[in-house]
A = this chain, B = another copy of it.
Amino acid sequence: MKLSNQAQAFVLHFGEMGSRWGFNRTVGQMFALLTIHSEPLNADQLAEALKISRGNVSMGLKELQAWRLIELHHQPGDRKDYFTAAGSIWDLARTVFEERRKRELDPTLTLLRQLLLTDPRDEQEAQAQEKIQEVYSLLEMLDQFANTLSKLDHKDLHKLMKLGSGLNKLLDLKAGVKAKATTKTTNTTTTKSTTGKKAK
Protein backbone atom coordinates (compact mmCIF):
# COMPACT_ATOMS: atom_id res chain seq x y z
CA MET A 1 0.00 0.00 0.00
CA LYS A 2 1.65 3.15 -1.18
CA LEU A 3 -0.34 6.35 -0.86
CA SER A 4 -0.30 9.00 -3.56
CA ASN A 5 0.78 12.46 -2.48
CA GLN A 6 -2.79 13.51 -2.71
CA ALA A 7 -4.03 10.72 -0.46
CA GLN A 8 -1.11 11.30 1.87
CA ALA A 9 -1.98 14.98 2.31
CA PHE A 10 -5.66 14.23 2.79
CA VAL A 11 -5.01 11.54 5.35
CA LEU A 12 -2.47 13.52 7.35
CA HIS A 13 -4.69 16.57 7.45
CA PHE A 14 -7.66 14.61 8.69
CA GLY A 15 -5.41 13.10 11.29
CA GLU A 16 -4.69 16.55 12.68
CA MET A 17 -8.23 17.80 12.34
CA GLY A 18 -9.77 14.54 13.45
CA SER A 19 -8.86 15.24 17.02
CA ARG A 20 -11.15 18.24 16.82
CA TRP A 21 -14.00 16.09 15.73
CA GLY A 22 -13.80 13.70 18.61
CA PHE A 23 -11.25 11.05 17.74
CA ASN A 24 -7.50 10.86 17.92
CA ARG A 25 -4.94 11.28 15.19
CA THR A 26 -4.63 7.72 13.98
CA VAL A 27 -8.35 7.10 14.10
CA GLY A 28 -8.80 10.22 12.01
CA GLN A 29 -6.22 8.97 9.53
CA MET A 30 -7.80 5.57 9.28
CA PHE A 31 -11.17 7.09 8.66
CA ALA A 32 -9.81 9.46 6.02
CA LEU A 33 -8.05 6.64 4.23
CA LEU A 34 -11.11 4.43 4.22
CA THR A 35 -13.07 7.38 2.92
CA ILE A 36 -10.99 8.23 -0.13
CA HIS A 37 -10.02 4.68 -0.94
CA SER A 38 -12.89 3.09 -2.79
CA GLU A 39 -11.74 -0.49 -2.28
CA PRO A 40 -12.13 -2.16 1.10
CA LEU A 41 -8.94 -2.36 3.16
CA ASN A 42 -7.82 -4.82 5.80
CA ALA A 43 -6.04 -4.14 9.05
CA ASP A 44 -2.59 -4.99 7.70
CA GLN A 45 -3.01 -2.64 4.79
CA LEU A 46 -4.06 0.16 7.10
CA ALA A 47 -1.13 -0.49 9.41
CA GLU A 48 1.30 -0.46 6.51
CA ALA A 49 -0.14 2.56 4.76
CA LEU A 50 -0.25 4.66 7.92
CA LYS A 51 2.90 3.18 9.43
CA ILE A 52 1.29 2.35 12.74
CA SER A 53 1.22 -0.84 14.76
CA ARG A 54 -1.23 -3.62 14.15
CA GLY A 55 -2.60 -3.26 17.68
CA ASN A 56 -3.28 0.41 17.17
CA VAL A 57 -5.23 -0.39 14.02
CA SER A 58 -7.31 -2.90 15.89
CA MET A 59 -8.23 -0.35 18.54
CA GLY A 60 -8.94 2.29 15.95
CA LEU A 61 -11.25 0.02 14.01
CA LYS A 62 -13.12 -0.76 17.17
CA GLU A 63 -13.65 2.91 17.83
CA LEU A 64 -14.76 3.62 14.28
CA GLN A 65 -17.25 0.81 14.59
CA ALA A 66 -18.56 2.29 17.83
CA TRP A 67 -19.11 5.50 15.89
CA ARG A 68 -20.85 3.47 13.18
CA LEU A 69 -18.55 5.02 10.59
CA ILE A 70 -17.20 1.89 8.97
CA GLU A 71 -18.54 -1.36 7.62
CA LEU A 72 -17.10 -4.82 7.71
CA HIS A 73 -16.86 -6.86 4.52
CA HIS A 74 -15.40 -10.19 3.54
CA GLN A 75 -13.70 -11.26 0.37
CA PRO A 76 -14.39 -14.81 -0.77
CA GLY A 77 -11.52 -17.12 0.10
CA ASP A 78 -9.88 -14.64 2.43
CA ARG A 79 -10.28 -14.81 6.16
CA LYS A 80 -9.22 -11.22 6.77
CA ASP A 81 -11.70 -8.53 7.75
CA TYR A 82 -12.05 -5.76 5.20
CA PHE A 83 -13.47 -2.33 5.93
CA THR A 84 -15.02 0.54 4.02
CA ALA A 85 -16.50 3.84 5.07
CA ALA A 86 -20.18 3.40 5.88
CA GLY A 87 -22.24 5.12 3.24
CA SER A 88 -21.95 8.39 1.37
CA ILE A 89 -20.06 11.42 2.53
CA TRP A 90 -23.28 12.95 3.72
CA ASP A 91 -24.16 9.81 5.66
CA LEU A 92 -20.78 9.96 7.33
CA ALA A 93 -21.00 13.63 8.17
CA ARG A 94 -24.47 13.09 9.56
CA THR A 95 -23.30 10.20 11.70
CA VAL A 96 -20.44 12.20 13.15
CA PHE A 97 -22.82 15.07 13.77
CA GLU A 98 -25.41 12.95 15.44
CA GLU A 99 -22.94 11.04 17.55
CA ARG A 100 -21.35 14.23 18.79
CA ARG A 101 -24.71 15.68 19.61
CA LYS A 102 -25.49 12.65 21.73
CA ARG A 103 -22.18 12.83 23.49
CA GLU A 104 -21.79 16.53 23.98
CA LEU A 105 -25.11 18.28 23.90
CA ASP A 106 -27.43 15.81 25.55
CA PRO A 107 -25.53 15.40 28.83
CA THR A 108 -25.32 19.16 29.15
CA LEU A 109 -29.02 19.58 28.53
CA THR A 110 -29.73 16.94 31.14
CA LEU A 111 -27.59 18.69 33.72
CA LEU A 112 -29.03 22.13 33.04
CA ARG A 113 -32.57 20.79 33.23
CA GLN A 114 -31.71 19.40 36.63
CA LEU A 115 -30.18 22.64 37.83
CA LEU A 116 -33.29 24.52 36.78
CA LEU A 117 -35.44 22.35 39.04
CA THR A 118 -34.01 23.55 42.34
CA ASP A 119 -35.21 26.87 43.67
CA PRO A 120 -32.67 29.63 44.07
CA ARG A 121 -31.85 30.37 47.73
CA ASP A 122 -30.76 33.98 47.31
CA GLU A 123 -30.41 36.81 44.86
CA GLN A 124 -27.08 35.54 43.59
CA GLU A 125 -28.49 32.13 42.81
CA ALA A 126 -31.52 33.67 41.19
CA GLN A 127 -29.31 35.55 38.78
CA ALA A 128 -27.27 32.45 38.08
CA GLN A 129 -30.49 30.56 37.45
CA GLU A 130 -31.46 33.11 34.86
CA LYS A 131 -28.21 32.66 33.01
CA ILE A 132 -28.59 28.92 33.17
CA GLN A 133 -32.03 29.27 31.66
CA GLU A 134 -30.60 31.29 28.79
CA VAL A 135 -27.87 28.76 28.12
CA TYR A 136 -30.44 26.02 28.27
CA SER A 137 -32.73 27.71 25.75
CA LEU A 138 -29.88 28.25 23.36
CA LEU A 139 -28.56 24.73 23.56
CA GLU A 140 -32.00 23.24 23.26
CA MET A 141 -32.55 25.24 20.12
CA LEU A 142 -29.23 24.03 18.73
CA ASP A 143 -30.13 20.50 19.63
CA GLN A 144 -33.44 20.61 17.83
CA PHE A 145 -31.87 22.25 14.89
CA ALA A 146 -29.16 19.63 14.65
CA ASN A 147 -31.77 16.98 15.03
CA THR A 148 -33.75 18.33 12.12
CA LEU A 149 -30.67 18.75 9.97
CA SER A 150 -29.51 15.24 10.60
CA LYS A 151 -32.81 13.87 9.44
CA LEU A 152 -32.61 15.50 6.05
CA ASP A 153 -31.96 13.16 3.20
CA HIS A 154 -29.58 13.70 0.36
CA LYS A 155 -32.11 15.53 -1.71
CA ASP A 156 -33.11 17.98 0.97
CA LEU A 157 -29.47 18.63 1.55
CA HIS A 158 -29.06 19.73 -2.01
CA LYS A 159 -32.03 22.02 -1.69
CA LEU A 160 -30.44 23.54 1.34
CA MET A 161 -27.18 23.93 -0.54
CA LYS A 162 -28.93 25.74 -3.31
CA LEU A 163 -30.53 28.08 -0.83
CA GLY A 164 -26.99 28.81 0.12
CA SER A 165 -26.80 31.91 2.19
CA GLY A 166 -30.46 32.58 1.61
CA LEU A 167 -31.36 31.76 5.16
CA ASN A 168 -31.98 35.41 5.81
CA LYS A 169 -34.43 35.55 3.01
CA LEU A 170 -36.14 32.48 4.34
CA LEU A 171 -36.49 34.04 7.73
CA ASP A 172 -38.02 37.13 6.23
CA LEU A 173 -40.32 35.04 4.16
CA LYS A 174 -41.63 33.07 7.04
CA ALA A 175 -41.79 35.86 9.56
CA GLY A 176 -43.43 38.39 7.32
CA VAL A 177 -42.17 41.93 7.47
CA LYS A 178 -38.83 42.77 9.01
CA ALA A 179 -38.09 45.79 6.92
CA LYS A 180 -34.89 46.45 8.78
CA ALA A 181 -32.59 45.85 5.87
CA THR A 182 -29.41 45.26 7.77
CA THR A 183 -27.66 44.93 4.44
CA LYS A 184 -26.17 41.69 5.46
CA THR A 185 -24.33 40.85 2.35
CA THR A 186 -23.13 37.39 2.94
CA ASN A 187 -20.12 37.20 0.77
CA THR A 188 -20.27 33.86 -0.78
CA THR A 189 -16.92 32.40 -1.53
CA THR A 190 -17.18 30.93 -4.94
CA THR A 191 -15.87 27.53 -5.55
CA LYS A 192 -13.66 27.07 -8.46
CA SER A 193 -14.83 23.83 -9.82
CA THR A 194 -11.55 22.62 -11.10
CA THR A 195 -12.33 19.10 -11.99
CA GLY A 196 -14.75 20.09 -14.60
CA LYS A 197 -16.79 17.11 -13.65
CA LYS A 198 -19.61 17.88 -11.38
CA ALA A 199 -19.06 15.89 -8.26
CA LYS A 200 -20.73 12.59 -8.81
Contacts and interface: CB of A to CB of B under 8 A. Distances in A.
- Chief secondary structure at chain A's binding surface: helix
A192 interface: yes
Contacts of A184: 151, 153
Contacts of A132: 6, 10, 36
B159 A175 contact: yes
A147 B164 CA distance: 10
A173 B167 CA distance: 13
A199 B63 CA distance: 8
* Most B C-beta atoms less than 10 A away, residue of A36, A68, A91: A36
Interface in A132-154: 132-138, 140-145, 147-149, 151-153
A137 B89 CA distance: 10
A13 B186 contact: no
* Most B C-beta atoms less than 10 A away, residue of A59, A131, A185, A193: A131
A197 B127 CA distance: 12
A62 B133 contact: no
Given A121-B4, A125-B6, A128-B4, A66 B195 contact: yes
A171 B130 CA distance: 34
Interface in A159-178: 159-161, 163-165, 167-168, 170-171, 173-175
A189 B98 CA distance: 15
Given A118-B6, A125-B6, A175-B159, A65 B191 contact: yes
